[in-house]
Amino acid sequence: MSNRTRIYVLAISLLGTTGPISSQDRAPQNDSIRTTDLASDVSFLASDNMRGRLTGTPENRLAAEFIRSRFQQLDLKPVGDDGHLMQFGLIVPTLGDTETNALQLRDGKSNAAPPLLGKDFFPERFSDTGSARGSVVFVGFGISAPALDHDDYGDADVSGKMVLMLDHEPGEFDAASPFDGIAMSEHGRLVRKVAEAQRRGAAAVLIVADVHNHETGPGLSDQMRSTWPVASRRVPRYELAAWTETIRIPAVRITSELAARIVSGTGTNLEVFAQRADKPTGFTAVPLDVEVEVTTVVERHYVTEHNVVGLLEGSDATLRNEWIIVCAHFDHEGASGARIFNGADDDASGVAGLLEIAEAYALAAQNGTRPRRSILFAAWNAEERGLFGSWAYTEQPLAPLSDTVALINMDMIGRNEEVPPDAGRRFRGLPAQTSASNRNAVNLLGYSYSTDMRRAADTANTAIGLTLRFRYDNNRSNLLRRSDHWPFLTRGVPALFVHSGLHPDYHTERDQADKLNYQKMMRIVKLVHQLSWDLAQHDGRPTLN
């Protein structure tokens, strides 16, 4: 019985319980990457017994144990909180009742009906429990981005105030936006904007829809039902503890009608304010002669989850302190009764590739050949819930992100991209294309952030001969922000997302192991192995544009 087989048996028993990078040489043990090994790992991780590996389930923990056992077998250095496991926290918030969550508006209109929970306002899921009272200051989108020369606060003092801000960000649908083009940037992430208001001393935050860029959408009652569903869901809705714990003030969403009432004393209206706020340099904050009192009760229930990490230390006395990260995510969408979302391509394929690359490095190390830089192999959890495993790592990295030279993320590397005509919302922004047209192709995203990384990928591909497609960084599909490389790009780490493309079986029970193209997948994994080796060997390091 091989070591690999022993691990399968163990798992089953547990279930019962600065310049362009050039290639210096061929990556050692590149030929150890084989289709049979990839197929074996995908078949196990995507089997019905694993029931879709949903975060928070026994099968998800079994997948983590399977990967950890392989890392142990390969003698990768344990660098997590518990050996090869790296702990992070999630929160499942619950809302207090209608009597405890309240909002009052004092604007001299005594005959107006009092705002009602679920009709006129509701607390955001990351809101803290608390009460606050104060006058209102409108701060446009509430964004402070010095690097983009954008500031919605200016000299305004919001200490002890109730800050009213628009959701999203300026120029959200403008490809020339100084933020991120036609997809929302991290500057527009609401929890970050509330944290900025809190840092400036705000007592509470009121959020209203961007009525200038978003004229239509679900009403607040529908948003309330989605944000705070009455019935429990099959898939819990999590918040990242590292973010939510930083919020210590009430944060509530209000209707545009209530916001219009708040700004009405200025002699203008909410639409005009929203238009004025939608400019690159920012908005001049406006104090309003209205007082608001708000009480929120949101209980935070903590859940502990784990990434799986293993380090292969580099050989160079200096460069070994710099890391290359090779990664994939092991969670998927779970099961609903007899329907099992096996997630063979998404992302058992990436995890299988990760294990094969780790094995290639381990075999080379056994023969006395190590890369100059260290390689961290990371299997992220809770990607499907919001990239939470990788976001958690960037909040508390195992090595300084300034010493993280590059990251290569494999997510869905086992199929051919296929987009049917009129494919629907899941494929928005993607041109119709056949599987046959992509039989030798793989998408690389993140290329626009680092010309060095793009050149390095082209060089690594020389002996492999895949068709590398660089096309989706600024696209309405938002693919660039939908996998685990994204948190690292936002923190200044050059990163590439290796992705063979969406297809009609994406996020359905049809995503099965027997549908993967293992020959093509093997070549993609060899490409990632070669690219990681080149990045680890080169004297210089890739830079961001």
**Whole-number pLDDT of residue 172:** 84
Residue 71 lies in a domain: yes
Residues 285, 136: one domain?
yes
Residues 233, 169: one domain?
yes
* CATH code of 191's domain: 3.50.30.30
The domain boundary, picked from 296, 326, 344, lies at 296
* CATH code of 399's domain: 3.40.630.10
Paired strand residues for 308: 85, 379
Residues 62, 179: one domain?
no
In single-letter form, the type of residue at position 425 comes to R
Residues 324, 267: one domain?
no
**Whole-number pLDDT of residue 456:** 98
**Whole-number pLDDT of residue 177:** 87
Which residues, 6+ apart, have CB-to-CB distance to 224 below 8 Å? Answer: 117, 118, 122
Mean pLDDT per 10-residue interval, the chain, length 545 residues: 48 46 77 98 98 98 98 98 96 91 85 89 98 97 96 96 96 86 90 98 97 75 93 93 98 96 91 92 94 97 98 98 98 96 98 98 98 98 98 98 98 98 90 97 98 98 97 92 97 98 97 98 98 97 96
Q: Which among 522, 499, 496 is positioned nearest to 417, based on CA atoms?
A: 499
* Cα dihedral across residues 369, 375, 381, 383: positive or negative: negative
Cα gap 236→384, rounded to integer Å: 11
Residues 499, 355: one domain?
yes
Residues 343, 221: one domain?
no
Residue 183 lies in a domain: yes
Residue 219 lies in a domain: yes
**Whole-number pLDDT of residue 12:** 42
pTM of the model: 0.94
* Structural domain range at position 120: 97-296
The domain boundary, picked from 277, 296, 315, lies at 296
Residues 67, 141: one domain?
no
The domain boundary, picked from 296, 328, 357, lies at 296
Residue 545 lies in a domain: no
Residue 543 lies in a domain: no
Residues 151, 76: one domain?
no
Distances (CA, A) of 535 to 22, 251, 344, 366, 444: 8, 44, 29, 21, 16
Residue 542 lies in a domain: no
Residues 61, 108: one domain?
no
How many CB atoms are located within 10 Å of the residue 375 CB?
23
Return left, alpha or beta for 124; rule: phi > 0 is left, psi -120 to 50 is alpha, else beta.
beta
Residue 214 lies in a domain: yes
Chain CA centroid to CA 525, Å? 22
Residue 3 contacts residue 342 (beta carbons within 8 Å): no
Residues 108, 125: one domain?
yes
* Sheet with 374-380: strands ordered across: 239-240, 85-95, 298-312, 374-380, 323-329, 404-410, 495-499, 441-445, 467-469
Residues 447, 307: one domain?
yes
Tell me how many domains the chain contains.
2
Residue 544 lies in a domain: no
Q: Which among 398, 194, 235, 205 is positioned nearest to 310, based on CA atoms?
A: 398
Residues 42, 132: one domain?
no
